[in-house]
Amino acid sequence: MKTTTNARLLEVKDLKVQFSVKEGTVRAVDGVSLYLNRGETIGIVGESGCGKSVMARSILRIEPPPGKITQGQVIYHRPRNHPDEVGEPIDLTALDPTGKPIRKIRGAEISMIFQEPMTSFSPVHTIGNQIMESIKLHQGLSPEDMRIQALEMLKLVGMPQAENVLKSYPYQISGGMRQRAMIAMALSCRPNLLIADEPTTALDVTTQAQILTLMQQLQSEIGMATVFITHDLGVVAQMTERVLVMYLGRVVESADVDSIFHNPMHPYTEALLSSIPRLGQKKYITRLNAIKGTVPDPYSIPKGCPFHPRCPYNDKDRCISEVPKLREVEPNHFASCHYSEKLN
Amino acid sequence: MENDVKTHLEAPENNETLVEVKHFKKYFPIKKGFFSKVTGYVKAVDDVSFHIRKGETMGLVGESGCGKTTTGRTMLRAVEPTSGEFWFNDDTLGRVDVAALDNNKLKIARRNIQMIFQDPYSSLNPRMNLLQLIGEPLYIHNIARGEALKERVAELLSVVGLRPEYMNRYPHAFSGGQRQRIGIARALGLNPQLIICDEPVSALDVSIQAQIINLLKDLQEQYGLTYLFIAHDLSVVEYTCDRIAVMYVGNIVETATTEELFGAPLHPYTEALLGAVPYPDPRLRTTPIVLSGEVANPAHPPSGCYFHPRCPYSDGQRCVNETPELREIRPGHHARCHYAEKLELKGVINPPINVQDKN
């Protein structure tokens, strides 16, 4: 997993993010490692509370308070002028989250799309001003050029009546259009990496199809890498090349998308896949295989394998006492289960 | 089956039909100015008719803003319908038009029509414990008091898979899936005939979603319930429903049995909806059907067929000028499209059966 190629863009090494509150310490991200090459699309899947959003925000150093990075590194390999040339690696965790260096990266080189397009825009500024703000901060163009570029971005994301939208406030446009505006803003400085946190969860299927198609087009045009954070396995299957499955702050399985869907090596991944109803399969199944129980309370994570209380393969011995390590069970296929090889 | 040949308006008039909604309309006035002059109407539900048989699950699908939730709420008269009839085969009252009942009779009818809400976080009062929450409908309808009430609540809790000891806890102590179980217990308390499920699983995680869907299916078998299942997730709808009505801008554009609708849709909007669902298999990467534009504004719907500005098959003439009627194209399969017979629309691709083909 740690082979270095010159195309590497981002490496997260053993990242831990903790929330110390009066009820106890929540280990929201508990030793996550991942890498991302240039232009690659990876998916991070998991149920709510598995730490996927906190992990993504920590990359940009906007971890929600009182969360703190207690360990690990986020290394960003800033590309130089030539596309194959690797610049100085920067450890983002060492930067001051409010300092100048990280602010130069945020929004310009690494940008983010948030889940709720309504709450993530400022309600008192026009869409145009908000897109232009990011252009102004990172590119320093003249006001007229800024307006032209903002307009161009809106047209790029297929916004109908882009001229009018530029002057509109967020409440005046629909959810799908707001999500487009959000993408336009995120892409306005042509980032190297886009982190999309549930970009289509709040949208209808037809709008989702529009946005996903748009993102695919833009990705091939701009050549950026993308991290897709979602719980929608359909979106992951259609959009990503590699997938990480998270459970209670840890990566429990990571592999290429085909292996994840057709040869899962962790019981949690398998259970997730068989619990979703799929179009066209009503004739074949009479009952969904629900995962028993619920995600445990973050203050009292089970001993041993965190999934053991819900796992159908629990051996009541090793599983409840020994924490399984994430290990390579097949070439380039990692899973954290004692019995990965024996499952079928 | 011979009843199916009748139009959707004339549902078979026998005991098998539990619900018959006829020409349902709900217009919300748009008011402007100092004197709140009515300047127009949002036609949230515009002439919707359908029927549900006893023990059946009827799905109501469509994008947000299409009027599916308003239809459900109007049936319960949580909002008053502008016009229309809702004939309900009530166990106590007999066959009645719920839309025209007076308050006393409505209260009796509501005992048999219950609702499950979408968001289990906002639909339960945080200041009431489970005994109060689940006991409230029983109390209001004078079904049980005191010890008997406690017993009934304990029984309901175990029916939905929660422990009766939890009776004194408050909703905040429960996860989303457990809260949805509380909502279901509340709806079940009065032994209803019909439950209107308004997006019962869309706020839940995938693993919990399956638990709740299975629970709803079990309860239906056990108590002979009839469901109106309002949802936007088509794979969930396919799995749970026997028949489906697709709504677009306040209108039903297609209704058929689940197999028919998913296998051979007759309306371009249904095709687009089905084609937009991302399929959870990387080996079946599809190009989704991308509709241009946005859902029409129900205050100013387009002329002719409401779907024509986004429809890839629009002829630019008849579709723009003439509003299509909901017609029976095949037995039991209705569609609101001028060209329903001529179009060859694609249904769901039939994926290989192996969900997990581990080698």
pLDDT at B14 over 70: no
What is the band of B1 on the pLDDT scale with cuts at 50, 70, 90?
very low
Q: What is the mean pLDDT of residues B301-316?
A: 91
How far apart are the C-alpha atoms of A128 and A131, rounded to whole Å? 5
CB atoms within 10 A of CB A203: 22
Give the contacts of B274 (CB within 8 A, at least 6 positions apart).
A279, B234, B262, B265, B346, B347, B348
Does any CB of chain B come closer than 8 Å to the CB of residue A300? no
What is the band of A1 on the pLDDT scale with cuts at 50, 70, 90?
very low
Tell me, yes or no, whether B9 lies in a domain.
no
Lowest mean pLDDT among A221-235, B185-199, B284-298: B284-298
Give me the pLDDT at residue A300, please.
82
For chain B, the domain total comes to: 1
Cβ under 8 Å to B: A residues 21-50: 47-48
Chain B residue numbers with beta carbons less than 8 Å from the beta carbon of A266 are none
**Tens-digit pLDDT profile for residues A300-338:** 888 999 999 999 999 999 999 999 999 999 999 999 999
Q: Given B238, B276, B280, which is nearest A282 (Cβ)?
A: B238
Chain B residue numbers with beta carbons less than 8 Å from the beta carbon of A289 are 210
Give me the pLDDT at residue B170, please.
93
| Segments forming the whole domain that contains residue B342 | 17-112+194-207+224-352
Give me the pLDDT at residue A83, please.
55
CA distances from A258 to A152, A249, B279 (A): 36, 23, 13
Chain B residue numbers with beta carbons less than 8 Å from the beta carbon of A285 are 239
Give me the pLDDT at residue A86, please.
62
pLDDT at B358 over 80: no
Q: What is the mean pLDDT of residues B139-145?
A: 89
Contact A269/A257 with Cβ under 8 angstroms? no
Q: How far is CA A157 from the centre of its chain?
A: 20
* Residue pairs spanning A and B at CB distance below 8 A: 165
Chain A residue numbers with beta carbons less than 8 Å from the beta carbon of B293 are 160
What is the band of A84 on the pLDDT scale with cuts at 50, 70, 90?
low
Give me the pLDDT at residue A2, please.
36
Q: Quick check: B351 and A275 CB within 8 A?
A: no
Chain B residue numbers with beta carbons less than 8 Å from the beta carbon of A48 are 176, 205
Question: Could you say which DSSP state residue A106 is in?
Answer: B
Chain B residue numbers with beta carbons less than 8 Å from the beta carbon of A276 are 206, 209-210, 235, 280
Does any CB of chain A come closer than 8 Å to the CB of residue B355? yes
Tell me, yes or no, whether B330 lies in a domain.
yes
Q: Quick check: A236 and B280 CB within 8 A?
A: yes
Using CA coordinates, name the residue in chain B closest to A240.
Answer: B282
Query: How close B140 gets to chain A, by Cα (Å)?
Result: 33
Query: How close A271 gets to chain B, by Cα (Å)?
Result: 8
Q: Which CATH number belongs to the domain containing residue B269 in this structure?
A: 3.40.50.300
Q: Quick check: A295 and B205 CB within 8 A?
A: yes
Tell me, yes or no, whether B11 lies in a domain.
no
**Tens-digit pLDDT profile for residues A288-298:** 888 888 888 88
Residue A216 in tokens: 């695919």
Tell me, yes or no, whether B254 lies in a domain.
yes
Q: Given A258, A291, A344, which is nearest B283 (Cβ)?
A: A258
Query: How close B111 gets to chain A, by Cα (Å)?
Result: 30
Mutation site for A-interface testing, chosen from B160, B207, B239, B261 by largest number of A Cβ within 10 Å = B207
Residue B55 in tokens: 């023990």
Give me the pLDDT at residue B7, please.
42
Tell me, yes or no, whether B56 lies in a domain.
yes
Lowest mean pLDDT among B76-85, B206-215, B279-288: B279-288
Q: Quick check: A209 and B291 CB within 8 A?
A: yes
Give the contacts of A156 (CB within 8 A, at least 6 positions apart).
A184, A187, A218
Does any CB of chain B come closer than 8 Å to the CB of residue A190? no
pLDDT at A63 over 70: yes
Tell me, yes or no, whether B284 lies in a domain.
yes
Give me the pLDDT at residue A81, please.
58
Chain B residue numbers with beta carbons less than 8 Å from the beta carbon of A46 are none
Cβ under 8 Å to A: B residues 32-71: 63-64
- Strands A225-230 and A193-197, how do they pair? parallel
Cβ under 8 Å to A: B residues 232-291: 232, 234-236, 238-239, 258-259, 262, 272-291
pLDDT at B194 over 90: yes
Q: Quick check: A205 and B273 CB within 8 A?
A: yes
Does any CB of chain B come closer than 8 Å to the CB of residue A286? no
pLDDT at B333 over 90: yes
pLDDT at B154 over 90: yes
How far apart are the C-alpha atoms of B309 and B293, rounded to whole Å? 8
**Tens-digit pLDDT profile for residues A94-147:** 989 888 889 888 988 999 998 877 778 899 999 999 999 989 888 888 999 999
Crossing angle of helices A175-187 and A143-156, in 10° steps, is 120
Tell me, yes or no, whether B22 lies in a domain.
yes
What is the band of A271 on the pLDDT scale with cuts at 50, 70, 90?
very high
Give the contacts of B130 (CB within 8 A, at least 6 positions apart).
B153, B157, B162, B166, B167, B168, B169, B170, B171, B182
pLDDT at B98 over 90: yes
Tell me, yes or no, whether B262 lies in a domain.
yes
Query: How close B289 gets to chain A, by Cα (Å)?
Result: 7
Give me the pLDDT at residue A6, please.
54
Give me the pLDDT at residue B3, please.
42
Chain B residue numbers with beta carbons less than 8 Å from the beta carbon of A232 are 278
Using CA coordinates, name the residue in chain B closest to A280.
Answer: B350
Crossing angle of helices B206-223 and A267-275, in 10° steps, is 50
Chain A residue numbers with beta carbons less than 8 Å from the beta carbon of B259 are 282
Q: Quick check: A234 and B258 CB within 8 A?
A: no
Does any CB of chain A come closer than 8 Å to the CB of residue B201? no
**Tens-digit pLDDT profile for residues B38-55:** 888 889 999 899 999 999
How many CA atoms lie less than 13 Å away from B353 in the CB half-sphere?
3
Using CA coordinates, name the residue in chain A closest to B279.
Answer: A234
